[in-house]
């Protein structure tokens, strides 16, 4: 489903967290929000999910104006930076949570919930770990549980906050490839936040570079690399490259 | 003076043998002895005396005192009062902790400070305030009694005074616990479509259950033992508005020492139960309690 953001603004005191942001993410696209900390990328992601409120502007998910919808009504799949798994529930209960809390008339029956949960675990290759608890999983496994949990609600769009931020370098690379393949096979419109330019340029169809609540450039990875629109973009892509 | 090599060695050996602050043996023994003597003198001896006095006229008198009509009424009233106080303060504690951790609002810090107020106000003063507020001479009190609602010198008054005194326990346990746990699981539940109510039952409550139980235990223990505030609003009507602590005082003033201590022993026994349940909780689930996190 397409995400369209129109003149989205949010202020924290005197600071523009989001300064009249315009952005369109086409249906099925995989887009990265790239920028240094404090650039507004996470605020934008959380505002799309409804976890933060905007002061002005509109958020459209497909044909629906989601600006005034509650978090619950938006049906957005969100993967948190530290995954925020329910630590008192095992893996399968985590994954099926979104189905189990549906209103009775929308809720699939128990067998169907179990079947869908199993299917999602197959998808993220964790079928053997259904009975484990989050604290018995590795970082990469936790991330995949969080992803399966977000997919269970058949979300309109998928939002990932620093999906690889809590993982060590080796697993990051593996999971990056895996996530790209998964995205291509299930085709959800996906927006993810990262401060790592290599990750953004490697993984995304298009990259949105943000700075101080503004969008500096939206382009394909090649476009960003070869035709940076501003000194900031050139500097950020270049400097974080030499570090990463 | 510089220590010799030999002395340096002994320092190193000493430290590796125990903790970094290990004292010499006589000092160690002295500190331990003082602790034990102090505890025995001020805790164990009085407790022992309660039971010695309770059984001083024999087992028969002991049980007769406990099955006396006024005593049974006092026990019943204490249980009812504590049950109501624990119920209301549990609801309040959860609401307050939820509001403080999940919402941003003006006066939040003031609210947290206010919750502690009952700890610093003398219970007698609390009792007096409610007496003035709800007694028959106050406008509110006379309006209530005109409508047939008797608050003071009756069970509702006892419950209100007890709620005031025991208000902080549940909230005080839950607020730091929920603040430390953060709200990310609650946010995740919301994105998955769960209402606030469902999130509370399925996500928050399982995360705070042991802390909640701990707060309830402490609240209950204090509620059953409360004397000062309850004494002011009770009116001391025998067999009607006396709780166990008040009954103990009345019996003692009437020179029924064995009977007074019999009821006191029952209160002490309830404290032991609380203490036992508390240590069990701390040992098994210390990592999920606010005050003892990291100790277990």
Provide the sign of the torsion angle of the four alpha carbons A31, A37, A42, A43, taken in this order. negative
Confidence of residue B202 (pLDDT cuts 50, 70, 90): very high
Higher pLDDT, B285 or A61: A61
Worst-scoring range by mean pLDDT, A70-79, B18-27, B215-224?
Answer: B18-27
What span, in angstroms and rounded, lies between the C-alpha atoms of B115 and B103? 17
Higher pLDDT, B219 or B271: B219
Confidence of residue B291 (pLDDT cuts 50, 70, 90): low
3-state DSSP assignment of residue A59? strand
A80:B206 CB<8 A: no
Find tokens 């003076």 and name the residue: B1
Return the percent helix, strand and coil in chain B, to nearest 5: 80, 0, 20
Of residues B94, B61, B243, the one with CA closest to residue B157? B243
pLDDT of residue B230 exceeding 90, the answer is yes
pLDDT of residue B295 exceeding 50, the answer is no
Confidence (pLDDT) at B6: 45
B189:A101 CB<8 A: yes
Confidence (pLDDT) at B151: 85
Nearest CA in chain A to B196: A72
Could you tell me if B74 and B248 are in contact, meaning their C-beta atoms sit under 8 angstroms apart? no
What span, in angstroms and rounded, lies between the C-alpha atoms of A50 and B194? 14
Confidence (pLDDT) at B1: 44
CB contacts, 8 Å: B207 with chain A: 87-88
Q: Which of A75, A76, A86 sits opposite B203 (nearest CB)?
A: A86
Could you tell me if B175 and A76 are in contact, meaning their C-beta atoms sit under 8 angstroms apart? no
Cβ atoms within 10 Å, residue B183: 19
Q: Which of B191, B203, B206 sits opposite A49 (nearest CB)?
A: B191
Of residues A91, A103, A212, the one with CA closest to residue A141? A91
Return the percent helix, strand and coil in chain A, to nearest 5: 40, 25, 35
Chain A residues with at least one Cβ partner in B under 8 Å = 49-51, 71-72, 74-78, 80, 82, 84-89, 97-98, 101-102, 149-150, 152-153
Q: In the predicted model, what is the mean pLDDT of residues B138-145?
A: 87
Give the rounded percent of residues in chain A with a pLDDT score beyond 70.
Answer: 98
Q: In the predicted model, what is the mean pLDDT of residues B115-138?
A: 91
Per the DSSP assignment, residues forming a β-bridge with A217 are A209
What ipTM was estimated for this complex?
0.91
Give the rounded percent of residues in chain B with a pLDDT score beyond 90.
Answer: 71
Confidence (pLDDT) at B9: 45
Confidence (pLDDT) at A45: 97
A98:B192 CB<8 A: yes
| Residue ranges of chain A whose pLDDT lies below 50 | 241-244
Which helix (H) or strand (E) element contains residue A7?
Answer: strand A3-12
Confidence of residue B20 (pLDDT cuts 50, 70, 90): low
What span, in angstroms and rounded, lies between the C-alpha atoms of B221 and B217? 6
B82: Cβ contacts below 8 Å, ≥ 6 apart = B162, B220, B223, B224
Confidence of residue B148 (pLDDT cuts 50, 70, 90): confident
Which helix (H) or strand (E) element contains residue B75?
Answer: helix B69-102
B190:A97 CB<8 A: no
pLDDT of residue B212 exceeding 90, the answer is yes
Of residues B127, B72, B80, the one with CA closest to residue B238? B72
């Amino acid at each position: 489903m397409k995400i369209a953001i129109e003149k989205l603004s949010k202020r924290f005191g005197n600071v523009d967290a989001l300064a009249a942001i315009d952005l369109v993410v086409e249906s099925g696209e995989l887009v990265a929000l790239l920028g240094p900390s404090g650039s507004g990328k996470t605020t934008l992601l959380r505002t799309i999910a409804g976890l933060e409120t905007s002061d002005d502007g509109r958020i459209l998910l497909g044909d629906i104006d989601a600006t005034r919808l509650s978090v619950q009504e938006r049906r957005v799949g969100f993967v948190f930076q530290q995954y925020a798994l329910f630590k008192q529930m095992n893996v399968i209960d985590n994954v099926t949570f979104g189905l189990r809390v549906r209103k009775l008339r929308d809720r699939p029956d128990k067998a169907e919930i179990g079947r869908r949960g199993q299917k999602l675990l197959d998808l993220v290759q964790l079928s053997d770990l259904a009975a484990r608890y989050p604290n018995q999983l590795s970082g990469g496994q936790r991330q995949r549980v969080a992803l399966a949990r977000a997919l269970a609600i058949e979300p309109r769009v998928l939002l990932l906050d620093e999906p690889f931020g809590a993982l060590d370098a080796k697993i990051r690379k593996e999971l990056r490839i895996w996530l790209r393949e998964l995205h291509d096979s299930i085709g959800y419109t996906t927006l993810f936040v990262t401060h790592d330019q290599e990750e953004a340029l490697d993984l995304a169809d298009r990259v949105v570079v943000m700075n101080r609540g503004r969008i500096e450039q939206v382009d394909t990875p090649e476009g960003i690399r070869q035709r940076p629109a501003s000194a900031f973009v050139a500097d950020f892509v270049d400097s974080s490259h030499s570090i990463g | 003076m510089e220590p010799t090599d030999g002395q340096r060695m002994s320092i190193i050996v000493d430290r590796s043998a125990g903790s970094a602050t290990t004292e010499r043996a006589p000092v160690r023994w002295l500190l331990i002895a003082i602790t034990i003597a102090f505890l025995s003198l001020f805790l164990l001896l009085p407790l022992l005396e309660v039971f010695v006095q309770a059984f001083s006229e024999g087992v028969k008198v002991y049980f007769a005192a406990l099955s006396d009509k006024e005593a049974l009424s006092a026990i019943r009233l204490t249980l009812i009062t504590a049950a109501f106080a624990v119920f209301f303060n549990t609801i309040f504690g959860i609401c307050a902790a939820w509001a403080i951790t999940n919402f941003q609002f003006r006066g939040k810090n003031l609210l947290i400070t206010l919750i502690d107020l009952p700890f610093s106000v003398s219970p007698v003063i609390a009792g007096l305030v409610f007496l003035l507020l709800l007694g028959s001479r106050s406008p509110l009190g006379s309006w209530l009694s005109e409508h047939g609602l008797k608050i003071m010198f009756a069970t509702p008054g006892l419950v209100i005074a007890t709620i005031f005194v025991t208000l902080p326990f549940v909230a005080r346990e839950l607020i730091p616990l929920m603040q430390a746990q953060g709200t990310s699981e609650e946010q995740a539940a919301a994105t998955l479509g769960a209402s606030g109510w469902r999130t509370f039952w399925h996500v928050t409550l399982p995360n705070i259950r042991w802390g909640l139980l701990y707060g309830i235990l402490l609240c209950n223990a204090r509620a059953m033992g409360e004397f000062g505030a309850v004494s002011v609003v009770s009116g001391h009507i025998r067999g009607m508005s006396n709780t166990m602590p008040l009954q103990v005082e009345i019996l003692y003033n009437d020179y029924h020492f064995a009977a007074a201590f019999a009821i006191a022993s029952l209160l002490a026994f309830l404290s032991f139960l609380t203490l036992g349940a508390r240590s069990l909780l701390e040992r098994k689930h210390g990592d999920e309690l606010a005050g003892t996190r990291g100790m277990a």
